[in-house]
Structure 1
Amino acid sequence: MFIDSHAHLFKKDYAADLDDVISRARDAGVDRIVNPGTDLETSREAIELAERYEIIYACVGYHPHEAARCEGRALEEIEALSHHEKVVGIGEIGLDYHYDFSPRDRQREVFSLQIDIARRRNLPIVIHTREAEEDSLGIVERKLTDPNRWRITPDGGGEGAPAPRGVFHCFPGDELMARKVNAWGFYISIPGPVTFASKPEKPNLMAEVAAKIPLDQILLETDSPYLTPVPFRGKRNEPSRLPLIARRIAELKGVPVEEVGRVTSESVRRLFGTGIAR
């Protein structure tokens, strides 16, 4: 009934009980989970988990926090990993100017190079952007509009490849930004904070966006182990809590929760292709 389009189910957080976490997800109606890597090590682990659990599919890539450690042949190895049959995207990639754990110029470079990988491989991208929306959108837009940027391999492997497509995970923007990326063919993904209370002094922008953007442009995610929805806020998150997010979006849109599950699951399959088995 539901697909969790973004969760990090790695051993550092789930070593003791991952079998139980997967079982609870199934019991909650979550039948597929997309598990993005954040560096070379976790990308390999994402594939290992996808091989171990039918329910899990992997993405591979370098998170902006790890861009400074993306050295040597690391991106060549990421591209090699992307050929695995259960790898369905390149991610989690992007820019993060909130923490600045990696120099901004290196973040931008690694982000751009990974979009190139996605296009060569005809895979969608999973984008993280935090307090970096202008630069993130600028990089993606340039990749969309400048075909010369794709003539990048000696054998012509980049020639004629599809334009990038993907999802802005944990969507940080307003309605205008959402409609802009939707027009580019990108989805927005909504996690647990959509369930948080909205106050006059601190309105819930994510809930406002989720209410206004067409349901078929939205994906659901938990971003486990982070961003736990109400009433479990503050505890470790897990995919079994995805229905709480779906329920809140159903309330905002005035539609049955079953419709939210059906439409968002169809969108995940549309984005990631036949790799996400029915």
Structure 2
Amino acid sequence: MLVDSHCHLDFPDFEGERADLIARAKTAGVELMVTICTHIRKFDQVLAIAEEYPEVYCSVGTHPHNAGTERGIPADEIVQLANHPKVVAIGEAGLDYFYDKAPRDAQAEGLRIHIEAARRTGLPLVIHSRDADDDMAAILREEMGKGAFPALLHCFSSGRELALTGIELGLYVSFSGILTFKRSEEIRDIARELPADRLLVETDAPYLAPQPRRGKRNEPAYTAMTAAVLAETRGVSEEEIARQTTENFFRLFSKVPRQNLQTKAIAS
């Protein structure tokens, strides 16, 4: 069993096709998916998908690209929305200095508000970080000093130091199709070094399809391709990577009923 810990099933790329892509995911061994919110003001659309499909859970939050337009949404509102049983994470929130689509101070402000919501709910914060390693590490260290919170560095493509800082602070690290790209040897070196009990896999679908699907639309079924490369990178079997990353998922995303894993184990 595998889990796609980060996808965007509300995006128009999947309109009218969600039931089929979920079926394809299950055929590929991907039994659970978390569809990630990028606009709190569009959260209802994300939640509706999670409510419709038993295999799908969701998060609530504002992507750093949207931090300017959704500035000022308080942690209280995020916490309230997170009460729904299908909401299992906060975010994605973070810093993106590559595109800089929102003012950097708005991104940092939004990140800290989401950290507060994660701290108060106990739900994992899904962190987006791109070209912002130093500032991200500084904020994480400062905020963790105010009180621990669970978190995940999603779609990891940053440097080794941020990965190790995350591990030191108790975070998890998730790898996407980027891990499979020919020029991603540095990312594979990081994946090889990190502790097994902190690793997850994801697609970030519809983006970042792994080899050999690179350049095409991504979907949750392709989690299996990334997991296979992670297994090869770490010198373990695909079965072991599936077992470990799924166990890690349930430990971090603790609101997801573990019966999903237990039922599957009994059935097999």
User: Do the structures match in fold with TM over 0.5?
Assistant: yes
Amino acid at match of 1:167: L
On the 8 A contact 2:151/2:171 being kept in 1, the answer is: yes
Q: Whole-Å Cα distance in 1 between the matches of residues 34 and 86 of structure 2? A: 10
Deviates further, 242-251 or 66-75: 66-75
TM-score normalized with structure 2 length: 0.92
Deviates further, 72-81 or 45-54: 72-81
Q: Whole-Å Cα distance in 1 between the matches of residues 19 and 71 of structure 2? A: 34
Q: Whole-Å Cα distance in 2 between the matches of residues 125 and 251 of structure 1? A: 28
The equivalent of 1:140 in structure 2 is: 140
- Correspondence 1:206 to 2:187: yes
**2:173 is paired with a residue of what secondary structure?**
strand
Shift of 1:52: 0.4
TM-score normalized with structure 1 length: 0.89
> Against the structure 1 CA distance between its residues 89 and 248, is the aligned structure 2 distance closer, same or farther, given a 3 Å change threshold?
same
User: Max radius of gyration: which structure?
Assistant: 1
Shift of 1:171: 1.1
Deviates further, 79-88 or 261-270: 79-88
Shift of 1:77: 3.5
**2:245 is paired with a residue of what secondary structure?**
helix
Amino acid at match of 2:171: F
On the 8 A contact 1:40/1:74 being kept in 2, the answer is: no
Shift of 1:206: 1.2
Q: Whole-Å Cα distance in 2 between the matches of residues 41 and 22 of structure 1? A: 25
On the 8 A contact 1:2/1:31 being kept in 2, the answer is: yes
- Correspondence 1:178 to 2:163: yes
On the 8 A contact 2:137/2:165 being kept in 1, the answer is: no
CA-based RMSD of the aligned residues comes to 1.5
Q: Deviations over 1:65-109 (max 9, x none)?
A: 000111455654333211101111101010111111110011111
- Correspondence 1:92 to 2:92: yes
Amino acid at match of 1:178: A
**1:48 is paired with a residue of what secondary structure?**
helix
The equivalent of 2:207 in structure 1 is: 226
Q: Deviations over 1:224-254 (max 9, x none)?
A: 0001001111111000011111111111111
Aligned length: 259
**1:226 is paired with a residue of what secondary structure?**
coil
The equivalent of 2:181 in structure 1 is: 196
Amino acid at match of 1:57: Y
The equivalent of 1:160 in structure 2 is: none
The equivalent of 1:128 in structure 2 is: 128
Map of 1:224-263 to 2, 5 A cutoff? 224-263=205-244
Q: Whole-Å Cα distance in 2 between the matches of residues 165 and 249 of structure 1? A: 23
Amino acid at match of 1:3: V
**2:187 is paired with a residue of what secondary structure?**
helix
Q: Which runs of 5+ in 1 are unaligned?
A: 148-162
Indicate which of 225, 250, 266 corresponds to 2:247: 266
The equivalent of 1:28 in structure 2 is: 28
> Against the structure 1 CA distance between its residues 9 and 140, is the aligned structure 2 distance closer, same or farther, given a 3 Å change threshold?
same
Amino acid at match of 2:36: P
Amino acid at match of 1:144: M
Identity in percent: 40
